[in-house]
């Protein structure tokens, strides 16, 4: 029993000694990790453009369905889907045997007409000389009026034959040119520089006038059809510049409005607008966002590299007046190139780390 009481007395003395040396609350300073190699900047609101955002599908400005203008067997297809072609390049060849025969006949007819014209020309010249001689003889009363009338009639007939043969040459030449044109139809050529997007026929198939053979599109210009809210009807105009973001390439380019539909859809309260984009390696069918400028507003923008993603959360490393670093959650808005709009979580004169964020530690302190 005495041993138990002695042990209890010793424990009580030790406990009291420990309580005597206890540190009062608020006197302990946490040990913070020192952070260096970071760049701190002060946040300030700035004026930015406000955009109305809509979307649409990219289409080539010119899409052509290439067809045959005559009937014939497709002998050779030179291009395939995806090929880039230049204006005037031969795309496919149609059997030209029938047209070639007609062209040969037309050339022979033209040569024959030329020979007939030369003969009529000489006859006319001879008739004219004879007429002048007989006219002189008639003045001298050497020949009778009947003889002179016969010579005069022969001259008129020679003049008529000359005109007929001249017209025959023109008709033969036109026929020859026509057959040459038809022969050109057997060589299907690209109407402009572009891209072959579809092949509708195979070699050995009979092509007929109006039958689709190939589909190609002009790759120099693309258009995007978009729907715009009716409140912007008075704010946009033809030629107005807009920004276009193609999501598949994440590339922002400039376009311009080329057409505005004069009527508003009463169901959707929107109207259609066509945007033309040049000089971008696009493809028909791509999804794109279009940003139409509305005005300006003041907002806080931070560099994209200053934003730190932690799971589903977004935040920045802020620094207080004592140099203590803390991870501050923010709500982001639109992107402006290399900067992002902050809707909440920051205010003017806040200080954040914009470079060296990978070195920052929540709860750390910046090296002075």
The CATH number of the domain where 194 resides is what?
2.40.50.100
177 and 115 within one domain = yes
Q: How many domains does the chain have?
A: 4
| 4 located within any domain | no
**Residues linked to residue 258 through DSSP beta bridges, in sequence order:** none
Q: Examine residue 239 and state whether it is found in any structural domain, yes or no.
A: yes
Q: How many CA atoms lie within 13 A of 72 on its CB side?
A: 23
| Same domain as 192, residue 224 | no
Residue at 15 is within a domain:
no
Among 173, 200, 217, the domain-final residue is 217
Does some domain include residue 7? no
Residues 118 and 171 in one domain: yes
Domain of 305, CATH number, reads 2.40.420.20
Buried b (16+ CB within 10 A) or exposed e, 17-35: eeeeeeeeeeeeeeeeeeb
Residues 84 and 191 in one domain: yes
88 and 102 housed in the same domain = no
Residue 156's domain comprises 96-184
CA-to-CA distance for 151 and 134, rounded, in angstroms?
7
Residue 259 in contact with residue 242, Cβ under 8 Å? Answer: no
Distance of CA 187 to the CA centre of its chain: 29
252: how many CB neighbours lie within 10 A of its CB?
13
Tokens of 52: 């109305």
Asked if residue 20 is part of any domain, the answer here is: no
Q: Is 16 within a domain?
A: no
Strand locations in 230-321 (E): 241-246, 251-260, 270-278, 287-303, 308-310, 313-319
* Shared-domain flag, residues 104 and 180: yes
- 232 and 194 share a domain? no
> Residue 65: inside a domain, yes or no?
no
Do 205 and 165 share a structural domain?
Answer: no
Place of tokens 């794109």: 288
Same domain? For 283 and 162 the reply is no
Stated pTM of the model: 0.57
pLDDT of residue 151: 87
Please indicate, yes or no, if residue 318 is contained in any of the structural domains.
yes
Specify whether 233 is located in the same domain as 281. yes
3-state helix, strand, coil split of the chain in percent (to 5) is: 30, 40, 30
- Stretches where the chain sits below pLDDT 70 are 1-30, 279-280, 368
- How crowded is the C-beta side of 26, counted as CA atoms within 13 Å? 0
């Amino acid at each position: 029993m005495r041993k138990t009481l002695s042990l209890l007395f010793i424990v009580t003395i030790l406990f009291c000694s420990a309580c005597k040396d206890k540190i009062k609350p608020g006197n302990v300073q946490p040990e913070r990790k020192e952070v260096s190699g970071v760049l701190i900047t002060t946040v300030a609101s700035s004026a930015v453009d406000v955009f109305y955002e809509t979307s649409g599908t990219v289409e080539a400005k010119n899409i052509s369905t290439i067809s045959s203008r005559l009937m014939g067997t497709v002998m050779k297809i030179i291009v395939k889907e995806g090929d880039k072609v230049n204006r005037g390049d031969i795309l496919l060849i149609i059997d030209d045997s029938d047209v070639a025969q007609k062209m040969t006949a037309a050339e022979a007819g033209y040569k024959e007409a030329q020979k007939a014209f030369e003969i009529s020309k000489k006859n006319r010249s001879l008739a004219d000389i004879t007429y002048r001689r007989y006219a002189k003889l008639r003045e001298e009363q050497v020949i009778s009026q009947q003889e002179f009338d016969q010579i005069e009639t022969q001259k008129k007939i020679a003049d008529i034959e000359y005109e007929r043969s001249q017209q025959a040459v023109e008709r033969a030449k036109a026929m020859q040119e026509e057959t040459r044109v038809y022969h050109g139809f057997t060589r299907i050529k690209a109407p402009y520089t572009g891209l072959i997007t579809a092949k509708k026929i195979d070699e050995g198939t009979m092509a007929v006038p109006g039958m689709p053979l190939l589909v190609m599109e002009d790759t120099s210009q693309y258009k995007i059809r978009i729907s715009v809210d009716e409140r912007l009807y008075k704010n946009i105009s033809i030629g107005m510049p807009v920004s276009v973001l193609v999501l598949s390439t994440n590339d922002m380019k400039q376009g311009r409005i080329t057409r505005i539909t004069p009527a508003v859809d009463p169901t959707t309260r929107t109207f259609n607008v066509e945007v033309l984009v040049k000089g971008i390696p696009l493809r028909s069918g791509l999804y794109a966002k279009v940003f139409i400028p509305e005005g300006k507003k003041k907002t806080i923008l931070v560099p994209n590299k200053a934003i730190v993603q932690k799971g589903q959360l977004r935040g920045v490393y802020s620094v207080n007046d004592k140099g203590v670093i803390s991870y501050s959650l923010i709500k982001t808005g639109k992107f402006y190139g290399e900067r992002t709009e902050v809707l909440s979580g920051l205010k003017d004169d806040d200080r954040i780390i914009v470079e060296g964020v990978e070195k920052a530690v929540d709860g750390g302190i910046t090296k002075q």
